[in-house]
């Protein structure tokens, strides 16, 4: 039986509190879900308190993610950013067949004087080390136990994704946003961000192209219990490039090592980059503030469950 489309309502709230007043704050927001062949953002709303002196409307970064930026030049001891989105998701199909992974790595490898088609040139941006992704022999060795000789790319991605899912433990207390991926590998504990960075390190260490995807995941409350507002969190997974055959554009295969599944109608894509640093939902610089605390609350719900007290979008 074929899967039907799904429509979701997403709330993403970020609250900062500062020990001393902030005199000047410049911030960039990446809170607008991407428009993709299988995903449409039908409405989007952002509210900022205190109200910014200037809010620059949507533009895109070098990866095609939607951005907004704003400045606050008045003293403030808190900052609240509230984003609501409504997104329609269609089922995705995995490729019927993929070439051997070694062939993919060879196709992507640099050769002087050899020009790459645009989609492959774009994919080459996601083959190298970045702030949270490392290329190391130990990562390649770990991945090679899944990517056996001649194995189709899709099958190798599936094996690696499930190996991480089975061998690593989800533990929110084990890491912070700055924990090195090498430490995640040693302890085999962390959160979705860590598992995505580790899987990217494995794939890139094999010469494959893979990007970090930031988004949301629909979770189900316990049987008989209501869905709690703000109880969810942002999610992260990876996307692996597969070249097209006979000059056709390539495709990207998403994989979620935290849950051991290929993303479908329960995954909502916010954006992507080389790693988390490229796609942080809220990032900026400020003068003042001293010690600060941050609270993030995310709610993902089927559109028909949207409570009446939320903002209208």
Q: What is the pLDDT of residues 198-208, one digit of tens each?
A: 999 999 999 99
Domain boundaries along the sequence of the chain = 6-90+279-305, 101-278
Task: Give kind and range of the element (H or E) at residue 123.
Answer: helix 118-123
Residue 139 has pLDDT above 80, yes or no: yes
Residue 75, pLDDT score: 92
CA distance 279 to 296: 16
- 90 DSSP assignment: -
DSSP, residue by residue, 23-66: EEEEEEE--SPPPBTTEEEEEEEEEEESPPSEEEEEEE-TT--E
Give the whole-angstrom CA distance, residue 196 versus residue 204: 12
DSSP calls for 166-204: HHSEE-TTS--TT--HHHHHHHTEE-HHHHHHHHHHHHH
Q: What is the pLDDT of residue 310?
A: 52
Q: Cis (ω within 30 of 0) for the bond into 245?
A: no
- Give the pLDDT score at 313: 41
pLDDT at 1 over 50: no
Class of domain 101-278: alpha beta
Of the options 3.40.50.880, 2.40.50.140, 2.60.40.2250, 3.10.20.520, the CATH number for the domain spanning 6-90+279-305: 2.60.40.2250
Q: End-to-end distance of the chain based on CA atoms, in angstroms?
A: 33
Q: Is the pLDDT of residue 126 over 90?
A: yes
Global pTM exceeds 0.75: yes
- Mean pLDDT computed over every residue of the chain: 90
Q: How many contiguous H segments (helices) and E segments (strands) does the chain have?
A: 6, 13
Q: Spell out the residues 6+ positions from residue 169 whose beta carbon is closer than 8 angstroms to its own.
A: 188, 189
């Amino acid at each position: 039986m074929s899967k039907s489309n799904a429509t979701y309502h997403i709330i993403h709230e970020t609250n900062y509190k500062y020990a001393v007043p902030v005199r000047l704050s410049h911030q960039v927001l990446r809170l607008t879900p991407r428009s993709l062949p299988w995903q449409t953002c039908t409405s989007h709303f952002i509210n900022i308190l205190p109200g910014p002196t200037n809010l620059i409307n949507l533009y895109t970064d070098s990866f095609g993610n939607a951005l907004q930026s704003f400045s606050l030049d008045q003293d403030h001891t808190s900052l609240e950013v509230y984003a609501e989105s409504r997104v329609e998701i269609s089922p995705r199909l995995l490729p019927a067949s993929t070439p051997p992974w070694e062939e993919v790595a060879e196709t992507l490898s640099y050769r002087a004087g050899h020009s790459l088609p645009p989609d492959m040139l774009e994919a080459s941006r996601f083959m190298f080390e970045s702030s949270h992704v490392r290329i190391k022999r130990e990562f390649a060795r770990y991945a090679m136990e899944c990517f056996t000789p001649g194995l189709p790319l899709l099958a190798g991605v599936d094996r690696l994704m499930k190996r991480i899912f089975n061998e690593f433990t989800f533990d929110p207390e084990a890491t912070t946003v700055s924990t090195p991926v090498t430490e995640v590998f040693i302890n085999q504990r962390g959160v979705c961000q860590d598992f995505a960075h580790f899987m990217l390190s494995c794939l890139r260490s094999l010469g494959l192209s893979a990007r970090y995807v930031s988004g949301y995941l629909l979770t189900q409350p316990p049987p008989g219990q209501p869905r709690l507002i703000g109880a969810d969190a942002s999610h992260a997974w990876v996307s692996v490039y597969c070249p097209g055959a006979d000059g056709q554009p390539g495709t990207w295969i998403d994989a979620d090592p935290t849950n051991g599944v290929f993303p479908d109608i329960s995954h909502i894509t916010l954006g992507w980059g080389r790693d988390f640093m490229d796609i942080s939902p809220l990032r900026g610089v400020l003068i003042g503030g001293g010690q600060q605390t941050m609270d993030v609350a995310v709610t993902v719900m089927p559109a028909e469950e949207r409570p009446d007290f939320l903002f209208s979008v």
